[in-house]
Homo-oligomer: A and B are copies of this chain.
Amino acid sequence: MEYTFSSKIATVKPSAIREILKMSSDPSVISLAAGNPAPDAFPVKEVEKITADILREDPILALQYSVTEGYPALRDTLRTFARNRYDVMGAEDDLIVVSGAQQGLELSCKCLCNEGDTMLCEDPSFVGALNAFRSYNVHLAGIPVEEDGLSIEALEKALKEQKNVKLLYTIPNFQNPSGATMSWEKRQRVYELCRQYNVMILEDNPYGDLRFEGESVPAIKTLDEEGRVIYCGSFSKILSPGLRVGFVVANEAVLQKLVVAKQCADVHTSILSQLICLRFLNDYDVEAHIGRLCEIYRRKSALMLGEMQKHFSPEVRTIRPQGGLFIWCTLPQGSDMLEFCRRAVADYKVAVVPGTAFTAKEDAPTTSFRLNFSTPTDENIVRGIEILGRLTHEFIR
């Protein structure tokens, strides 16, 4: 039969990264295209012990239906974690558990935006979030990203000119894909401007714990005195993405709506996953674990940057990340970046993600591409960057 799909979903395309990743499943391809935690970053022994304990001590709890807001003891522990580690629990805020921060982003858009409303987002930005917003027929207006975070001038202009702006979506720490970190000054300006124009802020902080350089900058949420900021956190980078557990901190009135939407979406997050996260936070030294992760990523990032220094054409510009998983590279103006990425994977067997995957306006022209240093082995970082370096010299003449 002929299908008629909703206008919401008809225009959303599967993530371009997925297509690249399909090509990179060819074992002869070195993939610098993923965004996965390093395999050695998982606390395997700890999770094995925790899970055995849960299923021996509390099997019915782990298998039965649970409540939409999240397992009460996990919410308690996370409230303390969010308060002590990130200082993001305002006096009228509360916290719910979601099925990965992705769900927090999607539900926030669903609850706050009507079709045709505008969301502002960093440009480039995380394609998974942009697609979630697109899937509600929201108009995305992009704000260019600079080395110290989004352009304040462009933000102010957009707030003035765009109609029905409901939310600003931002990843202030080690942004995906640019790797940029927003300065404290800019965070304050962003908050002030959004207050001035009465726009809410959706602050996504999946990589915040993975700082391996420089001084930590407080979240925008720490400035929030009126429930303007929805803060999304995640276990995906500090424990496991496969378990699908994240959390949202927001004003109680906003959370009530998110809970209604979450109940419609998946009833509740896997309770076994939640119990694993709970015991991990309670029974292990999470600070030490995060320190170990930062060490892994500091080393891998330095390795990739060092190899790039040796092999890349000096005309390729990069933003040096202070944390996270990505290095953003920009070819000289006028370069055919898509052809570069195509040749990289087809002729040189190295997969990178073309910057077009991340633009607010789909497939807008850009000469940038994204490298990932967390997933590949050290050996593949060295080989991949050397090969890619040859292509940069060949490509830029």
Contact = CB atoms under 8 A, between A and B. Distances in A.
Given A106-B265, A242-B62, A265-B102, A9 B271 contact: no
A135 interface: yes
A311 interface: no
What is the total number of copies of this protein in its complex?
2
A62 B43 CA distance: 12
14 contacts: A1-B228, A3-B112, A4-B112, A12-B264, A36-B64, A37-B64, A42-B63, A47-B59, A64-B241, A64-B242, A99-B270, A103-B266, A270-B273, A272-B273
A189 interface: no
A47 B63 contact: yes
A359 B186 CA distance: 51
Contacts of A111: 5-6, 8-9
A162 B246 CA distance: 41
Interface string A265-279: 111111111000000
A60 B47 CA distance: 11
Contacts of A365: none
Contact of A114 (B8, B240, B257): B8
Contacts of A266: 99-100, 102-103, 106, 244, 265-266
Nearest to A14: B260
Contacts of A14: 256, 259-260, 263
Contacts of A60: 39, 42, 44
A167 B242 CA distance: 33
Given A47-B55, A242-B271, A261 B9 contact: yes
B240 A5 contact: no
Contacts of A215: none
Interface string A56-86: 1001111111101000000000000000000
A106 B264 contact: yes
Given A1-B227, A102-B265, A244-B270, A56 B63 contact: no
B12 A65 contact: no
A113 interface: yes
Contacts of A15: 263
A293 interface: no
B6 A114 contact: yes
Interface in A15-43: 15, 18, 35-37, 39, 42
Nearest to A45: B59
Contacts of A106: 264-266
A48 interface: yes
Nearest to A109: B6
A227 B132 CA distance: 26
A63 B237 CA distance: 11
Contacts of A131: 260, 263-264
A243 interface: yes
Contacts of A154: none
